[in-house]
Amino acid sequence: MFRNYRIRDYDFKLIVMILALASIGVMMIGSAEPSLQTKQLVGVITGALIMIVLSFFNYSMFLRLYWLMYAANLVLLIAVIVTGEEGGGAQRWLKIGGLQFQPSETAKILLILFFAQFIMKYKEKLNTFKIIASCIVLVLIPWALIFKQPDLSTSIVVVVVFCVIMFSGGISYKLIFGVLAVLIPAVAIVISLALQPDNGFLQDYQRNRILAFIYPEEYKNAEAYQQMNSIMAIGSGQLEGKGYLNNEITSVKNGNFISEAQTDFIFAVVGEEFGFQGCVVVIILLFGIALECISIARKAKDLAGTIIAASMGGLVAFQGFINMGVATFILPNTGLPMPFVSYGLTSLWSLFMGMGIVLNVRLQAKKSQ
């Protein structure tokens, strides 16, 4: 399980960026919802410890249990459908004793680990119809369970992460361009049909969020309300912001004009209190983490390590971009948390676990690089 590692192979830069971003998250949650700050701080401390411990475990040993991970993932997702806790019109949480968690968040990490081993095992046959079809079927099952909760935003993330997995696994460029040629117009058609009333594909609130993005003025007092207030908050922060925990009566956050400021719209709190400068720091840290993961992927000792590191980088970058896109109204409201910043212990711990394994990939990197 353990190996002899060299301290110079330990990626302290990645750890510093992760902890810096998580610390900003604790501060912002303390401003958005003070009652949750202590809980988030405990989550960051325990998550960081989990990350450090996992970084010294040989990831190749974990991957031997890849089918067990896949089965456990399905069991948790099915349990959500059968006995999950409902809230906000969705059934996404499991409650075991006093612990409540969201299996769709851990599903992202478990799928990355599963496919890392699965693709490495069949890497010579990856571009055959049999293996590609197998991969699609294997991801469709958990995807459908997540979509059924309903959780459209996380199901979109799963699709994007799966694409990163396949790309980093070495799928043929010809297949990529062929799929894109079919997928882009197909997605456009599906979205067009999904926006029609009584389509049965999207929930009413999901369709209204898309329509609010297309016609914001018509929905300014309904589905577009939060996003319009979010961009107002970010813009009011200007260059340097209004200051941390400010008590200005003109504050959008202080006036409670943004709901779920501690999760979906945490970037609006950053913009209002720390201004453009604070937003830039968050962006640099987010995409710095993603780029460092990609750098680790290029140095990995095997294909599984490459897939794990690249997919974690893609997950952080995509989810961070979507969260900021929603807060700045360049994307429809999705409800995705910002990695390491938004409140949510399941998401936080899952990311720390994933990054712990990425750190071990770096520790076992090719010595010549």
Least confident range from 75-79, 252-256, 336-340: namely: 252-256
Portion of the chain with pLDDT greater than 70, in percent: 84
**67 pLDDT more than 90:** yes
| CA-wise closest residue to 209 among 194, 187, 231 | 194
Rounded CA-CA distance 256/150 in Å is: 27
Average pLDDT score over the chain:
86
Residue 127 structure tokens: 């571009």
Which one-letter amino acid corresponds to residue 111?
L
Which one-letter amino acid corresponds to residue 20?
A
User: Could you give the C-alpha distances from 14 to 17, 47, 256, 288, in angstroms and in order?
Assistant: 5, 15, 35, 8
Evaluate whether residue 344 is within a structural domain. Answer: yes
**90 pLDDT more than 80:** no
* Contact partners, residue 167, CB within 8 Å, separation at least 6: 176, 310
Rounded mean pLDDT, 299-324: 95
Q: Contact at 8 Å (CB) between 315 and 336?
A: no
- pLDDT of the residue at 88: 61
| CA-wise closest residue to 359 among 315, 291, 317, 308 | 308
Rounded CA-CA distance 304/283 in Å is: 28
Beta bridge partners of 150: none
Rounded CA-CA distance 245/73 in Å is: 40
| CA-wise closest residue to 296 among 57, 24, 55 | 55
Evaluate whether residue 22 is within a structural domain. Answer: yes
Q: Is 158 helix (H, G, I), strand (E, B) or coil?
A: helix
Residue 51 structure tokens: 């990350």
- pLDDT of the residue at 369: 44
Rounded mean pLDDT, 271-280: 93
Evaluate whether residue 258 is within a structural domain. Answer: yes
Rounded mean pLDDT, 37-63: 94
Q: Is 243 helix (H, G, I), strand (E, B) or coil?
A: coil
State the residue range of the domain holding 221: 7-363
The number of folded domains in the chain is 1
Q: What is the DSSP string of 109-148?
A: HHHHHHHHHHHHHTGGGTTSHHHHHHHHHHHHHHHHHHHT
Q: Is 329 helix (H, G, I), strand (E, B) or coil?
A: coil
* Residues 286-296: tens digit of each pLDDT: 999 999 999 99
- pLDDT of the residue at 185: 77
* Residues 157-169: tens digit of each pLDDT: 999 999 999 999 9
Rounded mean pLDDT, 356-360: 96
Q: What is the DSSP string of 19-88?
A: HHHHHHHHHHHHHH-GGGHHHHHHHHHHHHHHHHHHTTS-HHHHHTTHHHHHHHHHHHHHHHHHHPEEET
> What's the first-to-final CA gap in the chain, in angstroms?
24
Beta bridge partners of 87: 90
Higher pLDDT, 248 or 271: 271
Rounded mean pLDDT, 41-51: 96
Residue 205 exposure: Cα atoms within 13 Å on the Cβ side? 10
Query: CA-CA-CA-CA torsion for 345, 290, 108, 178, nearest 10 degrees?
Result: 160
Top-confidence range, 49-63, 247-261, 325-339, 354-368: 49-63
Helix axes 12-32, 37-54, angle to 10 degrees: 170
Residue 331 structure tokens: 């994307």
- pLDDT of the residue at 196: 66
Evaluate whether residue 105 is within a structural domain. Answer: yes
Residue 249 structure tokens: 């009566």
Evaluate whether residue 2 is within a structural domain. Answer: no
- pLDDT of the residue at 320: 94
Query: CA-CA-CA-CA torsion for 97, 100, 102, 105, nearest 10 degrees?
Result: -100
* Residues 195-246: tens digit of each pLDDT: 566 665 566 666 666 766 666 666 666 667 788 888 888 988 889 888 887 7
Q: From the CB of residue 40, how many other CB atoms can be counted at a distance below 10 Å?
A: 25
- pLDDT of the residue at 8: 83
**2 pLDDT more than 60:** no
Query: CA-CA-CA-CA torsion for 274, 321, 49, 62, nearest 10 degrees?
Result: 180
